[in-house]
Chain A
Amino acid sequence: MPNVSLRQRLLLYVPSGFLLFFFVFPLIALVVLSFWQTENYKIVRELTLNNYVTLATEGAYITFFLRSLMMAVGVSVTLVVMAWPIAYFIVRYGGRYRIILSLLLVIPFLSGEVLRLIALQGMLGPAGLVNGMLVRMGAAPLRLIMYSNVASFIAFIYLYLPLVVTTVYLSLINFDFRLAHAANACGANRFRVFTEVVWPLNLSGTLVGFMLAFIPTLSASLVPRFLGGPNGTLYGMSMSQQFGESGTWALGAAMGVVLFLFSALALAILSFGVDLRRTGFTGMGRQ
């Protein structure tokens, strides 16, 4: 780094040091722990692959993982499909209210995640707003939304929709819609204008939104705990139980490593699988 003053270097060193200390070191500790054992709430410092063998062979863990994976894919895809029309509407028709409309999306975040989940419990539970009304009207309660994976799904959508709408919004607000006019004048109908120009040129922004929902859903523990019910255990919830009730920290550490590697893999697939130039990314900002 020639011609870079010490003060400028500090701008890089301080956050790097922070990340190293609070992220990289604990991660290394976690990896080491995952190759040890826990017996009777005590750590046994012997290198072993037992934890990973357990995770790969025991049915429950495989089920939890696949359930988490399906949930994460389903939630992220649904969110992208839902977020696009909302973001598109705000960008195209929001006019001078665009900033206010996009800030409205953040309002649920002001209350905190646990509070929002408890509110959802009140909505979806057996005596909640929806089922309470149904029962009062003499109908049968909707079992589907009581402590089930559907309830978790609804919660994930509710939790992460603002994030995905915001990322798609930020992508669309920077999109030059005159390119859509140009495509139209070149003979493309509305559908092809979307598939050929609008969608690919906003793909990288959309993928960021997808990952912002995918990764936390994959490792979520609070949502299934509050809303998932008996058949709703997800991988992240099981992992937090290893560190809590069961006291099997080493197994929990191995689950953490699995989650980390899988998320990194998903990120790698997306970033190497997408040719950024095909999304109009030039590395030089907007032309």
Chain B
Amino acid sequence: MRQSDSYIRIDNVSRRYGAVKALDSVTLDIAKEEFIAILGPSGSGKSTLLRLIAGLDRPTEGHISFEGKDVTGLPPHKRGIGMVFQEFLLFPHRTVRENLAFPLRMRREPQTVIDERLEWVAGVLSLTALLDRYPSQLSGGQQQRVALGRGLIARPTLLLLDEPLANLDRELRQEMEVEIRRYQKQLGIPFIYVTHNQEEALSMSDRIAVIHNGRLEALDVRQAIYDSPPTPFVARFVGKSTKFQGTVTPDGKTVRLARYDHEFPLPPQEKFQPGDALDVFVKNERFDLSPKSEGGSGIVCTVSDIVLRGPFLEYILETDRGDTVIVVKPKRNDPLPIQERVLLSWAPSDCHIFKAGS
């Protein structure tokens, strides 16, 4: 992305707690109208990054600017942000109406503006009937919508969302994913969405920043993060995949697996030397599966179980070495039977190859 597109700029930001580097030289530019997910396992530093953007914490090094203005030293209430928390953190002593109006009151907006915005936000989030209730009288999903409304009502420069769906049940979560993305497109402000859930990151965001051990591991549009992960960590963390170990054959054109009698051509764009030890990642839905009786090449497995997941089937395979591999296929009426001997293989372009241990 070009520098001129940058609306939120995170410039070489680090945060140390004593000797621990929670965040290490992260640089990130976020465009206006962009939905960006910050994805990482717990303890990766993603929440630290969010707290730094919000102003709830200060970086040890580096700068953060909004619309070209340096906000690094500003406290949260002077940054013009909205924030939605995982635990909702609604004010329990205030009604829904008062919770929603809180950011506007803090900005000393006149009552007419407050009423107008309340009507707008309650309408958009279907909260009109709940305005006089207290948070303890709301369901989890309703509390979530109030938290979202409170984050949006003051028309913030950006909205920070800290795992906002983690406390909701699965069905509601999927519904809210669609809703949140819709609001973001409507409002045209950046949403920065922190999550450890790669499905949420993939379903909602325009771009994904993967954080690992305090470092920015990858930053790209979601499709690219999914289809061509730049590092082994991203390959393992985004999407569900299986790892195999292998070696480049002496002619440099083929990868031979270490534990299995199977080899496949090394894709021409991959630059490895003969004898290199490799880690090969294959997404569970990219495997090819054929009955062993039909012949061909592949890893010999036995179908040990089949799990039905809506429109998909999950084949639980056991290799002759005792490893378990999960293969996802569209549902069909004549699935391979349990106990069937099968051959597991993949197209060379469908796997991600890295030097072992990298």
Please give, as numbers and ranges, the residues of chain A lying within 8 Å of B83 by CB-CB distance.
Answer: 182, 185-186
B100-144 Cβ-contact flags toward A at 8 Å (1 or 0): 001100110000000000000000000000000011100000000
A196 to B102, CA, bound (A): 9
Partner of A200 from B77, B93, B134 at Cβ < 8 Å: B93
Which residues between 263 and 287 of chain A lie within 8 Å of chain B, taking CB atoms?
277-280, 282, 284, 287
Which residues between 137 and 189 of chain A lie within 8 Å of chain B, taking CB atoms?
176, 178-179, 181-189
- Interface check A92, CB cutoff 8 A: no
Please give, as numbers and ranges, the residues of chain A lying within 8 Å of B54 by CB-CB distance.
Answer: 185
Q: A185-B76, A278-B93, A282-B92 are in contact. Are A178 and B136 (CB under 8 A)?
A: no
- Interface check B196, CB cutoff 8 A: no
- Interface check A192, CB cutoff 8 A: yes
B135 touches A287 (CB 8 A): yes
Partner of A187 from B77, B87, B93 at Cβ < 8 Å: B77
B103 touches A186 (CB 8 A): yes
A201 to B81, CA, bound (A): 24
Please give, as numbers and ranges, the residues of chain B lying within 8 Å of A178 by CB-CB distance.
Answer: 85, 87, 89
B77 touches A184 (CB 8 A): yes
Please give, as numbers and ranges, the residues of chain A lying within 8 Å of B75 by CB-CB distance.
Answer: 184, 189
Which residues between 166 and 225 of chain A lie within 8 Å of chain B, taking CB atoms?
176, 178-179, 181-189, 192, 196-197, 200-201
A192 nearest CB neighbor, chain B only: B106
Partner of B136 from A176, A184, A282 at Cβ < 8 Å: A282
Partner of B91 from A184, A187, A189, A197 at Cβ < 8 Å: A197
A287 to B93, CA, bound (A): 12
Write the residues of chain B forming the contact surface with A, with a CB cutoff of 8 angstroms. Answer: 54-56, 75-77, 80-83, 85, 87, 89, 91-93, 102-103, 106-107, 134-136, 150, 154, 160
A189 touches B77 (CB 8 A): yes
11 new A-B contacts at CB < 8 Å, known A185-B55, A185-B56, A187-B77: A176-B89, A179-B91, A183-B102, A185-B54, A185-B76, A185-B160, A186-B102, A186-B103, A282-B92, A282-B134, A284-B136
A178 to B56, CA, bound (A): 11
Which residues between 235 and 287 of chain A lie within 8 Å of chain B, taking CB atoms?
277-280, 282, 284, 287
Please give, as numbers and ranges, the residues of chain A lying within 8 Å of B92 by CB-CB distance.
Answer: 179, 201, 280, 282, 287
Q: A186-B103, A187-B103, A287-B135 are in contact. Are A277 and B93 (CB under 8 A)?
A: yes
A178 nearest CB neighbor, chain B only: B89
Sorted nearest first, the 3 A-B pairs with minimum C-beta distance are: A187-B106, A182-B89, A280-B92
Interface size range on A against B: 20 to 34
> Smallest CB–CB gap between B155 and chain A, Å?
12
A277 to B91, CA, bound (A): 11
A-B contact pairs, 16 of them (CB 8 A): A179-B89, A181-B76, A181-B89, A182-B89, A184-B56, A185-B82, A186-B77, A186-B102, A186-B154, A187-B80, A188-B106, A189-B75, A277-B134, A280-B91, A280-B93, A287-B136
Most buried by B among A179, A185, A279, A284: A185
A181 to B162, CA, bound (A): 13
Please give, as numbers and ranges, the residues of chain A lying within 8 Å of B107 by CB-CB distance.
Answer: 187
> Smallest CB–CB gap between A160 and chain B, Å?
27
Please give, as numbers and ranges, the residues of chain B lying within 8 Å of A181 by CB-CB distance.
Answer: 56, 76, 89
B156 nearest CB neighbor, chain A only: A187
Please give, as numbers and ranges, the residues of chain A lying within 8 Å of B87 by CB-CB distance.
Answer: 178
B93 touches A184 (CB 8 A): no
> Smallest CB–CB gap between A282 and chain B, Å?
4
> Smallest CB–CB gap between B113 and chain A, Å?
14
> Smallest CB–CB gap between A92 and chain B, Å?
15
A280 to B92, CA, bound (A): 5
A283 nearest CB neighbor, chain B only: B136
B135 nearest CB neighbor, chain A only: A287
A180 nearest CB neighbor, chain B only: B89
> Smallest CB–CB gap between A10 and chain B, Å?
34
> Smallest CB–CB gap between B11 and chain A, Å?
22
B160 nearest CB neighbor, chain A only: A185
